[in-house]
Structures are given as structure tokens and as C-alpha cells.
Amino acid sequence: MLIQRILCPIDFSEFSTRAFRHALSLAEHYGASLAALHVVEMWKYPYADYAATDGGDYANLRALLAKGGKEHLQEFVKQHRHERIHPELAICEGRAPDSILSFAQREKVDLIVMGTHGRRGFDRLMLGSATDRVMREASCPVLAVCQPPHDAVAAGEGAHYVHHLNRILICTDFSENSDRALDYAISAAEEYGADLTLMHVVEEAPSPASREDLLATATRQLEKIIPAEKRNGIKVKTAVRMGKPYQRIVEYAREAEIDLVTMGVRGAGALDRAIFGSTTYRVIQVGPCPVLAVHV
């Protein structure tokens, strides 16, 4: 897993603050450059419509908002300064998902780190309009940070951030959609010397006898995913559960004090969105640690 350039979108919320701290830690660990991006979304300013259609000074308004955004971003980075990492500051205008995706592609970003909330209802729709879309369409992995995992990211002396990954969970359904996510999970485990758990969730079984057969078969499949000769000293174990995938994944992540969950994400079609929303999204929404969503 080669990480040379990291992008962290900033909207000045507590969620982007958590993500930014995480991004600083990753940039330090990998020796990567970090770009902090703030998107000025004109639709959020009712006066913009008037300025654009009724003779207002639209150009001046855009310039003022861009200047204000840049100053706010500069202050934000200053408040969360890092002794070794000096982020590039970027301001653009547009819809947040479009701007983030365009920046990531143009600048050849290796990882996007985004803050998310764990709420439902209206907030879920808001997540779906930005983070959801970025995770489904970005060509690079996206790390969704909701709540800090235990003390995985902690501020040390002199505003020095230390990033720890001790336990990584990779969720697989044995399809090619999980292969790339597995590669990233293995790489991260090697990089941090972390334990790696391979997990599969069997959704249902028609009878108790078939339940045992399904669990045993899944366990054998998991044990074959990483041959012993390719483990490179990584401590690997397996976990097979039965039930709703996202519930069992979240449950296990809490019990095992997992620091990072890695999952594959499919494309942007209606069916893929439904699948993403029912599993990966819910793990991000209610899980206890960051989720690395790897687009297939």
C-alpha cells in the first residue's frame, strides 16, 4: 500500500477535526504529503442567487467567500498544527462531492480521509450526498473517521500525533470485490505490525445442521485466503459469525477492540448503492472505529 499523497476535506465541523488529526498521523507515519481542502458551496448562501440574477455583485461575493474560506482554513490548520507535517491548503468552489473527487483525481491522491457522523434520519441523507458518493466513486481508498478508536490517535508532546494500529479487521464475502480491500488490509498489518482478523458473516441457514456446515465451510475458506508462506510474520486469525452482516461486524469490532475495519465498496449503480448502504454504510455509521472503504 503506497501512500504518498493524502487528501482531507475540511468543513470545520468536529467530524472533520477528527479526520484531520487522523490524516496528520497517517501523513507522519507514511512520510506522505497532506492536502487540506475546503469547498465553498454557493448553494448554502441564499444571497448568491440574488447576486447572480438580480444585478448583485456575484463575482465579488464569490471572492469574499473564497477569501473567508481560506482564512478559516488557515486558522483551522494553525489550531491543529503538527511539528513535522505542513499541509497544503486548497480552496475551491462547487458541490463538495464533485470537488473532492476532481481534486483527488487531478492530484493523484492515494488516500482520502473524511470525517463522518454516526447519526440517523436527516443526517444520514446528508452523509449520502457527500461521503457516501465519494466512497463509491473515488478511485483511491477512503478512510471514514467517525469516532476515534480507543486511543488509536492521541496527541503527544508538542502537538505531535502518534498513530497506532494494533488490530485490523478485514470483512470478506469471498468475491473479487473483497480482494483489493484484503490487499490493503495485509499491507497495513505489515506496516504497523498489527494483528489481522479475516471475517465472514453467514446471513442465514435453513436448519441447525446446515448452520454448522456453513460455518465450517466459511472457516476453511477464510484459512485459505492468505497462504502461510505469504503472511510475512503477520498474526492472522479468522472469525465467522451468523446474522446480519453489519450487526455482526460492529459487534465483533467492539468486542475485539478493532482499530480499523477494511471493506470493499462497489460502484455507483442503484443495486450497488443499496448493498453499500445496508452493510458498509451501517458499519461506518454505528461502528466503533474508522472504516477503510476500498473501491473495486
User: Do 8 and 146 belong to one domain?
Assistant: yes
In a shared domain, residues 247 and 131: no
* pLDDT score for 295: 80
> In this structure, are 191 and 201 located in the same domain?
yes
pLDDT for 179 beyond 70: yes
Among the residue ranges 110-114, 258-262, 281-285, the one predicted with the least confidence is 281-285
pLDDT band at 162 (very low <50, low <70, confident <90, very high): low
Is 285 inside any structural domain? no
The CATH number given to whatever domain includes residue 172 is 3.40.50.620
Q: Are residues 133 and 15 in the same domain?
A: yes
Same domain, 157 and 175: no
More confident residue, 46 or 229: 229
Q: What are phi and psi of 235, to 5 degrees?
A: -80, 110
Mean pLDDT score, 248-253: 96
- Closest of 214, 132, 113, 218 to residue 172, by C-alpha: 218
At residue 156, the pLDDT reads 42
Instruction: Supply the pLDDT for residue 275.
Output: 46
Residues 223 and 244 in one domain: yes
Count the domains in the chain.
2
Highest mean pLDDT (candidates 36-50, 86-100, 134-148): 86-100
pLDDT of residue 47: 55
Per-residue pLDDT, averaged over 58-63, amounts to 73
Q: Give the H/E segment covering residue 210.
A: helix 208-225
Whether 141 and 5 share a structural domain? yes
Please, which pLDDT band fits residue 277 given cuts at 50, 70 and 90?
A: low
Same structural domain, 26 and 159: yes
Look at residue 164 in the predicted model and tell me its pLDDT. Answer: 80
Domain extent at residue 182 = 165-279
Question: From CA 284, how far away is CA 143, in angstroms rounded?
Answer: 10
Residue range 226-250: average pLDDT?
89
Q: Which residue has the higher pLDDT, 121 or 205?
A: 205
* Alpha-carbon separation of residue 229 from 43, 170, 189, 233 (angstroms): 55, 19, 16, 9
Closest CA to 87 of 7, 162, 2: 7
- Mapped onto helix, strand or coil, the DSSP state of residue 70 is helix
Rounded to 10 deg, the angle between the 58-79 and 46-53 helix axes is 150
Asked if the model's pLDDT at residue 87 lies above 90, the reply is: yes
Give percent of the chain above pLDDT 90.
Answer: 47
163, 178, 199 - which closes a domain: 163
Per the structure block, which three cell numbers stand in for 285? 455509521
Say whether both 6 and 106 belong to one domain.
Answer: yes
Query: Are 213 and 262 part of one and the same domain?
Result: yes
Examine the domain organization and report whether 156 and 217 are in the same domain: no
For residue 91, the model assigns a pLDDT of: 93
Q: Which residue has the higher pLDDT, 212 or 256?
A: 256
Q: Is the pLDDT of residue 154 over 60?
A: no
